[in-house]
Amino acid sequence: MEGFPLNFYDYLAKKPNGDIVSMQTYEGKVTLIVNTANQCQFTYQFEDLQKLYAKYKNQGFTVLGFPSNQFANQNPENSLQTASQCQLNYGVEFPMYEVVEVNGENTHPLFDHLKSAVEPRPINKSSIEEAILIDTIQQLHPTYLIGNNIRWNFTKFLIDAQGNVIQRFEPGDSIIDIEKAIEQLLLVESAKS
């Protein structure tokens, strides 16, 4: 898309306390960005994400959480309440940002960039979990199935240490596959040093 900076590091985002952070803070790190929600059927993934963060954070990796209330109002809390609940209920230690919109005309610019950089994979019609999710989206937010829109909470974008968006993972994608992709990028970075 024209008009968007070409690199993840060109964006700013706001923390729950109002501090504005440049994504350049994460320069040189492999980064996994996730749109989250505190009342979603995928909240169990907070634990998996925290494990990935803890396991690889000293190897040049981070996870960034961006809550959104756009999917069936599953994150009605404000940004500070959301961050607190993530820490208390799920043990989240990775950076959390303010509640943002990830689809529509008020989409946070970072998510416009992420969505324009990589397309979603085709819907896996053989997965019962994904079929149920797609049916829910079709009923509640059919436009989220069009183009590069984010389909639901816990969509993930993997960014390499140079700020390039490498891969997009859908909510039901295996944490094992995500970890393998992270490890590959970390190996590439390790080989450069």
Beta strands in 50-193 (DSSP E): 61-67, 156-159, 165-169
Burial of 178 (0-12, 13-18, 19+ CB in 10 A): buried
Partners of 33 in the β-ladder: 64, 157
Distance CA 110, CA 155 (A): 14
The total of other beta-carbon atoms located within 10 Å of residue 144's CB is 19
Q: How many residues does the chain have?
A: 193
Which of 34, 37, 40, 186 is an active site residue? 40
Catalytic residue status for 86: no
Active site residues: 40
